[in-house]
Amino acid sequence: MPAADSIPPPAAAAGVLPKVRARDPDFWLEVVCWSVVAFCCLQILLFSFGRDQGIYAVVAEGLLEGKMPYRDVWDFKPPGIFIVYALAQGLLGKSMLAPRLLEVAGLVGMVFAFRRLGERFLEQPRAGLLGGTVAAIIHAELEFWHTAQPETFGGFLIAYALLLSTETFGRRGRWAAWAGVGLLFGCAFVLKPTLGGGAFVCAAYLARRQYQRGERLRDAVWPLVVAAVSSFVPIAVCVLWFAVRGAWGELAWTMFEFTPGYTKLGWGYFSAPEAYYYGLQEAFVRFSALAAFGAAAALAIRPMHSREREVMLLVAGIIAVNVAGIAMQHKFFQYHYAATLPFVAFIAGIGLYKLWRRCVLGGGAGMLAFVSFVAVALSMREAVRDLPQSFWTRCSVRMQHFFGVGQYATHEQLDRELYHVADYVLNTDRQVALELRRLTSPDAPVFVWGFEPAIYWLSERRPASRYIYNVPQRARWERGRARTELLADLRATPPAVVAVQTGDVFPAVTGDNLDSRNALWGFQELSSLLDEQYHFVTEVSGFDLYERNTSQGRARADAPPPR
């Protein structure tokens, strides 16, 4: 035994080794991921309305006033999106920020759901978080036009349903979870019917889990039954609501007669298999190089956990069903993918995390290589490429506005710089709205013969007709009923001012190359009504404004010629 004086005292022993503060590299990965998610959320909160968002806001405002969609305020999107916007405006006030706040809340909830899926299936929550971060980047890159759409909110609901499908509950809790999955998909159906198909994927997964627990085959089908029945609850409530309010006929005409005609406009370019392949290709490679590389890595690199393939197959099933819905529409608009891209991003997150763990083994050099790879991949492709500036340039402009250091002191100045695409210019809508406010009293009805319903919302003037835009009257199908109803509305509620738009040509929507001005001359009854009861006042950024005559018989002698 060594002498007592040869053993250093505890204090001296403790001082032999320096204190080392080690930190798992995954901690810094998580910090970066949440920082990126927060940055993306801030960008979304600074988005203003596109044309579609203006439609939803106008219908939602009517809903809050006791009106019914389709009967009193018309659009051909399913009713769920109007309920979302009405909820936003009812809770948070009338502003372009209100629906964006709901959107950001849904996005953050989805990121948490993905993180939980990573923890459950991979024992690596940061793999799911990385997928959620990629989803947030892609979502922000979709910009103002392709976000806050029915597919956006439907995608959030599907993510929550997916999480609920994979959680472990006791016997009683399982039944509630099955019902919850069905309810979430039922709500997604009310937002966009094609999104309801994912219920079959989750229900089949739940039935398989039941069977693996040793349940008899007869008992294993209960998740299918409960999820199917509960999925009809939101749909039945919606149908009952319209029936009780006397608006079922208008909903049925819109959904089952008008909308199919619109959908058929895109048919004929692809066969069904070609359309499906095209949709898959777009979902995985069109919107994000980072997501494409990550998905490839997820498939190429050996699984990190025995349940990795299980969750990837489940998510792939959701993607497959959603893409089938996109292919059925044959439009392939960017926002049609908004409910699918988050799940592509989740798979990509798994692949990127596996790459990250391998790079970590290389120390600082490996982590630098990973960061460089991500930066290069992000610069290769953006989700939307039809805007006048790149996404990162637009982010810079928004951050200057946010911190008050740029030339965009007010949100209106920001709108003038950023929120316009193709023929849509938010600032034009605002200018027309200001002129309508100048020409009319607050309780006066107005009518816009065009495709800019946001003018009603911005001017705070009520529409003189249920038709807040004129696509139904310009379309080649079902125009007879739409024109008859429009004329009846205008005779019952004569507008104080009529605004006629020029240059709004939408072959993919109306089926022809006419703008509103030229389409007016083919709608003789409306043209005659303007001739007999209105006179030209002024022109504002492509909108001709006509004011109602104070005495009958004053013609539009000073009206501009057709263009």
With a pLDDT cut of 90, the percent of the chain lying above it is 78
Rounded to the nearest 5°, which phi and psi values hold at 136?
-65, -40
3-state secondary structure of 500: strand
The pLDDT-based confidence of 558 (bands split at 50, 70, 90) is: very low
pLDDT tens-digit readout, 449-485: 999 999 999 999 999 999 999 999 998 888 999 999 9
**Confidence (pLDDT) at 92:** 96
More confident residue, 118 or 406: 118
Q: Is 148 left (phi over 0), alpha (psi -120 to 50) or beta?
A: left
HSE-up of residue 144 (Cα within 13 Å, Cβ side): 25
The pLDDT-based confidence of 562 (bands split at 50, 70, 90) is: very low
**Confidence (pLDDT) at 241:** 97
Q: Is 541 left (phi over 0), alpha (psi -120 to 50) or beta?
A: left
The token duo for 539 is 């022109």
Question: DSSP label at 19?
Answer: P
CA distances from 69 to 87, 272, 300, 555 (A): 15, 32, 49, 35
The pLDDT-based confidence of 525 (bands split at 50, 70, 90) is: very high
**Confidence (pLDDT) at 17:** 42
With a pLDDT cut of 70, the percent of the chain lying above it is 93
Report whether pLDDT(9) > 80.
no
CATH number of 422-548: 3.40.50
Question: DSSP label at 538?
Answer: E
The token duo for 191 is 């937002």
The mean of the pLDDT values for the chain is: 91
Tell me the C-alpha distance between 410 and 448, whole Å.
Answer: 27
**Confidence (pLDDT) at 3:** 46
Tell me the C-alpha distance between 231 and 225, whole Å.
Answer: 10
Report whether pLDDT(25) > 50.
yes
pLDDT tens-digit readout, 257-306: 999 888 887 776 788 899 999 999 999 999 999 999 999 999 999 999 99
More confident residue, 1 or 66: 66
Burial 365-402 (b: 16+ CB within 10 A, else e): ebbeebeebbeebbeebbbbeebeeebeebbebbeebe
**Confidence (pLDDT) at 23:** 67
Question: DSSP label at 306?
Answer: T
Report whether pLDDT(90) > 90.
yes
Tell me the C-alpha distance between 162 and 113, whole Å.
Answer: 9
- Rounded to the nearest 5 percent, the helix, strand and coil shares of the chain are 65, 5, 30
Do residues 323 and 194 lie in contact, with contact meaning Cβ atoms separated by under 8 Å? no
Question: DSSP label at 122?
Answer: H
3-state secondary structure of 540: strand
- Count other C-beta atoms under 10 Å from residue 407's C-beta: 10
Closest CA to 289 of 374, 397, 204, 411: 374
Helix H or strand E encompassing 21: none
The pLDDT-based confidence of 551 (bands split at 50, 70, 90) is: low
Closest CA to 197 of 243, 231, 165, 229: 231
The pLDDT-based confidence of 15 (bands split at 50, 70, 90) is: very low
The four Cα atoms 100, 102, 103, 108 give a dihedral, to 10 degrees, of 130
**Confidence (pLDDT) at 405:** 86
Sorted by sequence, the CB contacts under 8 Å of residue 57 that are 6+ apart come out as 49, 85, 89, 96, 99, 454, 457
The token duo for 15 is 């001082």
Closest CA to 344 of 301, 286, 390: 286
Tell me the C-alpha distance between 77 and 98, whole Å.
Answer: 20
Report whether pLDDT(521) > 80.
yes
Tell me the C-alpha distance between 386 and 228, whole Å.
Answer: 41
Kindly state the average pLDDT of the residues 67-88: 97
pLDDT tens-digit readout, 213-235: 766 777 788 899 999 999 999 99
pLDDT tens-digit readout, 121-169: 999 999 999 999 999 999 999 999 999 999 999 999 999 999 999 988 8
pLDDT tens-digit readout, 372-421: 999 999 999 999 988 989 999 999 999 999 998 888 888 889 999 999 99
Do residues 96 and 429 lie in contact, with contact meaning Cβ atoms separated by under 8 Å? no
Tell me the C-alpha distance between 193 and 249, whole Å.
Answer: 19
Tell me the C-alpha distance between 38 and 104, whole Å.
Answer: 10
Closest CA to 72 of 493, 498, 561: 493
Domain residue spans in the chain? 25-380, 391-420, 422-548
Q: What is the pTM of this model?
A: 0.91
The pLDDT-based confidence of 362 (bands split at 50, 70, 90) is: confident
Report whether pLDDT(359) > 90.
yes
Rounded to the nearest 5°, which phi and psi values hold at 156?
-60, -45
pLDDT tens-digit readout, 174-210: 899 999 999 999 999 999 999 999 999 999 999 988 8
Report whether pLDDT(115) > 50.
yes
3-state secondary structure of 95: coil
Which residues pair with residue 540 across a beta bridge? Answer: 543
Report whether pLDDT(14) > 60.
no
DSSP 221-257: THHHHHHHHHHHHHHHHHHHHHHHTT-HHHHHHIIII
